[in-house]
Amino acid sequence: MAISSQARLPSEFSLSGQTAIVASSGGDESPFLAAALAEAGASVFAVARHAAAADAITAAVTAVSGRDTGRHVGRWDTPDGASSAVHAFSALHPRVDILVNDTRSFFAKPAAEIDLAEWDELHARNVRATFMLSQVVGQRMLEQQYGRIVNVISNLAERAVINCSAYSATQAAVLSLTRSLAVEWGRSEIRVNAVGSGWSTAEDIPLETQREELLVRYTPMRRKGHPRDLAAMLVYLCSPHCDYPSGQPVYIDGGLNAHP
């Protein structure tokens, strides 16, 4: 693990020469995650439902790499939508090494009051979109016998919170997909893992201000997570050196999962 050409980055964390698709539901963590991949040397192509979300990712990537490496705006929770996204990607890039699914639209409502349209829309965005893009990109990865897929999830995949039944079900579903695709595609040098966050913010809020919130004082590390807390682990899970790990979540949540 020599120090690579990127300043002071251990070479096992280098994504030099790799090409990544980052699919984002528009959450404010996605631009940081995309920028981390770019910092490690990857070319990053953004997929988002709205232009504003794609703009934020492209701006973050360009700030790091000095290059605009493309984007696609549109839903991708259908076979046609996912194919359009990958078609747009292929016009700019010859192969896809990495897929990051950061498809976490948050939703909270008493279970007794959730209507069918809300349930279905949330599952379409968070679960079906993750599956559709993984399926289309996975077909290419199977052909090239190589790929790294990382699903960004919440620790609500493991634990329950009042009013979060629908959202938690989507996160558990994505965790289950992580295991299943890792097992089904493992012989084709495709690794599928998840990185999980807890209570987080993309803003830099002073600790004293954060700790006025009960949720922050309850968290063992006594601060909210920031997307940069996920950066190095995400990069490793996307790298060619991440060969033996597959089918598992890694939670970076300030200790909440160990909380009794």
Partner 1 sequence: MLENLYLDGKVVVITGGGTGLGLEMVRALTRSGANLAIAGRRPGPIEAARDEVIAAGQDAIAVPTDVSKSSDADALIAATMSHFGRVDVLINNAAMVADNVLKPIWEITDDDWDSAMSVNLSGAFYCARAAAKPMADAGKGKIINVASGFGLRGGRDIYMYCTSKGGVIQLTRVLSFSLARYGITANSIVPGFIPTIDPGAEINRTLPQSGDFLPTGKLGKPEDLGPIAVFLASDASDYMTGEMFILDGAGLAAGITPTGHAPVAALEP
Give the binding site for partner 1 (CB under 8 A): 1-3, 6-10, 12-13, 32, 35-36, 39-40, 178-180, 182-184, 186-187, 191, 220-223, 225-226, 228-229, 231-233, 235-236, 239, 241-248, 250-255, 257-260
Residue number with CB closer to partner 1 (25 or 193): 193
Least Å distance, CB 86 to partner 1, is: 25
Least Å distance, CB 204 to partner 1, is: 13
Residue number with CB closer to partner 1 (79 or 186): 186
Q: How far apart are CA 246 and CA 180, in angstroms?
A: 10
Which residue type does 242 have? Answer: C
Residue number with CB closer to partner 1 (6 or 65): 6
Least Å distance, CB 37 to partner 1, is: 10
Angle (nearest 5°) at CA 180 between 21 and 252: 65
Residue number with CB closer to partner 1 (1 or 52): 1
| Beta carbons within 10 angstroms of residue 200's beta carbon | 20
Q: How far apart are CA 42 and CA 225, in angstroms?
A: 24
Residue for token pair 């976490």: 104
Q: How far apart are CA 170 and CA 154, in angstroms?
A: 10
Q: How far apart are CA 184 and CA 149, in angstroms?
A: 13
Q: How far apart are CA 145 and CA 160, in angstroms?
A: 38
Least Å distance, CB 253 to partner 1, is: 7
Residue number with CB closer to partner 1 (160 or 187): 187
Least Å distance, CB 238 to partner 1, is: 12
